[in-house]
Amino acid sequence: AQSVTQPDIHITVSEGASLELRCNYSYGATPYLFWYVQSPGQGLQLLLKYFSGDTLVQGIKGFEAEFKRSQSSFNLRKPSVHWSDAAEYFCAVGLMDSNYQLIWGAGTKLIIKP
């Protein structure tokens, strides 16, 4: 069965340090890939998406993600985090043979140390 794994439940990073959040998927073909961010008690906001082409995609708020087909991964990165980046981050996969359904990872909660 298709699945999305975010191995880290929590990650703590100092303000100004770099960040990498991991996302791995299980699917036979290249899926559509998304990263969303959720602030406490709010809905989700799209950070970036990958469909095809350049495997390094740029998103909002200074985030980027790299698709690595050989590793079935789509890791999210940011060179220098800000306290306002504290939130929960979700990776999601859209399958070509599924009309409307996304498969979601369980999320990674980002904690920023001052």
Partner 1 sequence: DGGITQSPKYLFRKEGQNVTLSCEQNLNHDAMYWYRQDPGQGLRLIYYSQIVNDFQKGDIAEGYSVSREKKESFPLTVTSAQKNPTAFYLCASSSGQGVIQPQHFGDGTRLSIL
Our CB check for partner 1 shows the closer of 97 and 114 to be 97
Given candidates 25, 63, 105, 112, which one binds partner 1 under the rule CB under 8 A? 105
Our CB check for partner 1 shows the closer of 85 and 90 to be 90
In this chain, which stretch among 22-30, 31-39, 58-66, 78-86 interacts with partner 1, using CB under 8 A?
A: 31-39
Our CB check for partner 1 shows the closer of 8 and 15 to be 8
- The per-residue DSSP string of the chain comes to --EEE---SEEEEETTS-EEE--EEE-SS--EEEEEEE-TTS-EEEEEEE-SS-SEEE-GGG-EEEEEGGGTEEEEEESS--GGG-EEEEEEEE-TT-SS-EEE---EEEEEE-
Our CB check for partner 1 shows the closer of 51 and 83 to be 51
| Alpha carbon distance 88, 60 (integer Å) | 15
We find the least distance from the C-beta atom of residue 96 to partner 1, in angstroms, to be 8
Distance between start and end Cα atoms, the chain: 41
Q: Which residues bind partner 1 (CB under 8 A)?
A: 4, 9, 32, 34, 36, 41-46, 49, 51, 90, 92, 94-95, 98-102, 104-107
